């Protein structure tokens, strides 16, 4: 039987859900950290501990690394901890923001962006996976500028190295926006922990082994006896001469 949560726990979970936009990451916190990457965990905890200092300077983090390295978990853990402490945070992605903006009129878009940036911390998850267009670059630049004016720190998670995101040339608005973003964020290379990498490799090997196994003949459905050869011969219609 599932233990009933206290009123305090229910309120805390609801605040986390509003900050994250989903129930899935409400349990992604330092208490449930598996300890596979202690250096990254310590960095995240230090960011929370000294958040007032980072917030006053509008200083964020730029977490980059391969899929499954723990970037999103770390960002969500920071959001959950700060939310529990009473800060107003938002965990979203540029792709989600662009999707929400597409359904708004021109007059409501700036108001929507202003509301997104009216926080103590903004997280942009999976940065760089959205299509690079003039519209997306303009929206990104507006978010960065608004957060800069309001001294709102931004935490970015991305599977791309910062150099790969700034290859558009000096005239590229996207490159300019990323450079401005990096000027306010500390880059952190998140490497997949060895235990997790080994576990992922074993799971991949197991999947490949299963796919290479010879297909087994399907079992005969129960209740349907296999016909004998003599019975099959009797069932053959006699051809008329």
- Residue-wise pLDDT for 141-186, tens only, equals 999 999 999 999 999 999 999 999 988 666 688 899 999 999 999 9
Distance CA 142, CA 112 (A): 11
CB contact at 8 A, 54 and 152: no
User: What is the rounded (10 degree) CA torsion for 123, 127, 133, 139?
Assistant: 10
pLDDT digits (tens, 9 = 90+) for 45-93: 999 999 999 999 999 999 999 988 999 999 999 999 999 999 999 999 9
For residue 66, which of 198, 191, 217 has the smallest C-alpha distance?
191
CA 135 to chain centre: 22
pLDDT band at 218 (very low <50, low <70, confident <90, very high): low
**For residue 188, what are the β-bridge partners?**
63
Please state the pTM of the whole predicted model.
0.80
Torsions phi, psi for 33 (to 5 deg):
-70, 130
Percent share of the chain, pLDDT over 70: 80
Predicted confidence at residue 240, as pLDDT, reads: 47
Burial (CB < 10 A; 0-12, 13-18, 19+), residue 75, is buried
User: What is the rounded (10 degree) CA torsion for 1, 7, 34, 60?
Assistant: 150
CB contact at 8 A, 19 and 155: no
pLDDT digits (tens, 9 = 90+) for 126-144: 999 998 899 999 999 999 9
């Amino acid at each position: 039987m599932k233990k009933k949560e206290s009123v305090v726990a229910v309120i805390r979970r609801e605040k986390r859900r509003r900050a994250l936009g989903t129930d899935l990451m409400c349990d992604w916190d330092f208490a449930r950290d598996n300890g596979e990457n202690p250096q990254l965990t310590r960095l995240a905890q230090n960011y929370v501990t000294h958040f007032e200092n980072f917030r006053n300077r509008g200083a964020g983090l730029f977490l980059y690394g391969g899929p499954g390295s723990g970037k999103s978990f770390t960002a969500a853990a920071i959001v959950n901890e700060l939310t529990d402490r009473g800060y107003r945070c938002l965990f979203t992605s540029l792709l989600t923001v662009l999707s929400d903006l597409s359904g708004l009129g021109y007059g409501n878009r700036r108001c929507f962006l202003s509301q997104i940036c009216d926080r103590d911390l903004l997280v942009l998850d999976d940065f760089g996976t959205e299509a690079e267009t003039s519209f997306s670059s303009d929206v990104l630049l507006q978010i960065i500028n608004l957060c800069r004016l309001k001294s709102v720190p931004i935490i970015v998670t991305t599977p791309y190295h910062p150099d790969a995101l700034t290859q558009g040339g000096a005239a590229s608005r996207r490159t300019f926006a990323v450079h401005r973003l990096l000027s306010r964020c500390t880059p952190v290379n998140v490497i997949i922990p060895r235990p997790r990498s080994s576990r992922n490799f074993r799971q991949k090997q197991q999947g490949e082994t299963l796919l290479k196994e010879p297909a087994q003949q399907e079992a005969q459905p129960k209740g349907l006896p296999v016909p004998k050869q003599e019975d099959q011969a009797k069932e053959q219609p006699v051809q008329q001469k």
